[in-house]
């Protein structure tokens, strides 16, 4: 695991070797990025978490990852953000992507999933540096964002759009359903699956938690259950993470059983009192500000 002190204990407890990010935060390209980067957002964007510019980190991580891959002579690999929960052996599906450079998530808007070579990361990093050197383009982008009343930023997905348009790459979207299984692209969007409301109003794919620890979405047209290799929990409330993890831990070693259409869905996970109170505070604040 490549992480920091906050997840070192988890890695050790699970028997996973832990490497610290800071040990791989080096090199001329990373220095050049640090010197050229600037934060470009709308006013509604929450730029800082735990006192740091997290938007900058999502760029820096690619330079750190590349150094790690070179150091350990890793050519092919999988990479997801930490809000993606993986439930099956990814090696079983690597053959699907033998002839591509990498896969995409979020409707093809970000570079994530399987990588067939590390040169892709190097090229992407070069494009990040190049993008931040385009002064007129950045000025225009900043003016446009300042006029938005919703959260947005110039981020890794923004650069990926440039990278994809200007570079020759072989890629495919990871979310395609193959052999009655799929990689969830974004849990809060339907994307061809049935959708429902969580207790506090958030949209979510209908995800059944089968008694054998597997997770199933439902095809919107046929209603057929589709097993999830992975769920992308971006924008989901934190209690959903806990509910999914608890179900998986308790049941994943059980023998596979037939899909149960009466099995519990994510909308039936109990909302903690703290989460309910937080939701009520937001509603009251919104009402008082009218």
Q: Are residues 39 and 141 in the same domain?
A: yes
Q: What average pLDDT does range 19-33 have in this prediction?
A: 96
Among the residue ranges 48-57, 115-124, 129-138, the one predicted with the least confidence is 48-57
Q: Are residues 119 and 200 in the same domain?
A: no
Q: How confident is the model at residue 192 (pLDDT cuts 50, 70, 90)?
A: very high
Where in the sequence is the domain holding 39, given as residue range(s)?
A: 2-173
Q: Are residues 274 and 145 in the same domain?
A: no
Q: What is the pLDDT of residue 287?
A: 72
pTM to 2 decimal places: 0.89
Q: What average pLDDT does range 199-211 have in this prediction?
A: 96
Q: What is the pLDDT of residue 230?
A: 96
Q: Are residues 13 and 71 in the same domain?
A: yes
| Number of folded domains that form the chain | 2
Q: What average pLDDT does range 12-34 have in this prediction?
A: 94
Interval 269-287: pLDDT, tens: 999 988 888 878 877 777 7
Q: What average pLDDT does range 239-256 have in this prediction?
A: 96
DSSP track, 74-106 = --SEEE--TTEEE-S-GGGGGGGGTT-SEEEET
Q: Are residues 152 and 186 in the same domain?
A: no
- Residue 33's contacts (CB-CB under 8 Å, 6 or more residues apart) are 59, 60, 63, 125, 128, 129, 132
Last residue of one domain, picked from the residues 142, 173, 204: 173
Q: Are residues 105 and 187 in the same domain?
A: no
Exposure letters 123-134 (e unless 16+ CB within 10 A, then b): ebbebbbebbee
Q: Are residues 115 and 207 in the same domain?
A: no
Q: What is the pLDDT of residue 174?
A: 93
Q: Are residues 197 and 169 in the same domain?
A: no
Last residue of one domain, picked from the residues 148, 173, 198: 173
Q: Is the dihedral of CA 243, 279, 267, 81 positive or negative?
A: negative
* Euclidean distance between CA atoms 88 and 95, whole angstroms: 15
Last residue of one domain, picked from the residues 154, 173, 192: 173
Residue 147 pLDDT > 70:
yes
Residue 211 pLDDT > 90:
yes
Q: Are residues 157 and 253 in the same domain?
A: no
- Residue 196's contacts (CB-CB under 8 Å, 6 or more residues apart) are 203, 204, 205, 206, 265, 267
Q: Are residues 215 and 267 in the same domain?
A: yes
Q: What is the pLDDT of residue 290?
A: 62
Interval 69-119: pLDDT, tens: 999 999 999 999 989 999 999 999 999 999 999 999 999 999 999 999 999
* Euclidean distance between CA atoms 209 and 266, whole angstroms: 8
Q: Are residues 123 and 217 in the same domain?
A: no
- 8 Å CB contact between 7 and 17: no
* Euclidean distance between CA atoms 236 and 203, whole angstroms: 9
Mean pLDDT score of the chain: 93
Q: What average pLDDT does range 118-127 have in this prediction?
A: 96
Q: Are residues 50 and 108 in the same domain?
A: yes
Among the residue ranges 162-166, 213-217, 258-262, 286-290, the one predicted with the least confidence is 286-290
Q: What average pLDDT does range 128-150 have in this prediction?
A: 93
């Amino acid at each position: 695991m490549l992480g920091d002190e906050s997840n070192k204990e988890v890695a050790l407890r699970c028997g996973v070797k832990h490497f610290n990010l800071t040990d791989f935060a080096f090199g001329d390209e990373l220095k050049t990025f640090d010197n050229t980067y600037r934060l470009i957002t709308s006013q509604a964007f929450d730029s800082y978490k735990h006192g740091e510019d997290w938007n900058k980190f999502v760029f820096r991580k690619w330079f750190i990852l590349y150094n790690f891959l070179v150091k350990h002579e890793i050519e092919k690999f999988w990479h997801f953000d930490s809000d993606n929960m993986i439930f099956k052996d990814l090696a079983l599906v690597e053959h699907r992507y033998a002839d591509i450079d990498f896969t995409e998530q979020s409707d093809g808007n970000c570079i994530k999933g399987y990588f067939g070579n590390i040169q892709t990361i190097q090229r992407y990093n070069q494009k990040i540096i190049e993008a931040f050197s385009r002064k007129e383009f950045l000025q225009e982008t900043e003016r446009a964002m300042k006029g938005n009343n919703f959260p947005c930023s110039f981020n890794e997905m923004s650069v990926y759009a440039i990278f994809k348009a200007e570079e020759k790459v072989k890629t495919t979207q990871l979310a395609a359903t193959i052999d009655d299984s799929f990689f969830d692209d974004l849990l809060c969007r339907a994307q061809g699956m049935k959708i429902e409301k969580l207790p506090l109003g958030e949209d979510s794919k209908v995800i059944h938690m089968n008694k054998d620890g597997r997770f199933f979405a439902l095809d919107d047209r046929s209603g057929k259950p589709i097993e999830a290799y992975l769920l992308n929990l971006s924008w989901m409330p934190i209690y959903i993470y806990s509910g999914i993890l608890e179900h998986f831990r308790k049941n994943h070693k059980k023998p596979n059983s037939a899909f149960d259409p009466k099995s519990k869905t994510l909308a039936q996970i109990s909302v903690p009192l703290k989460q309910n109170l937080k939701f009520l505070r937001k509603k009251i604040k919104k009402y008082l500000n009218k």
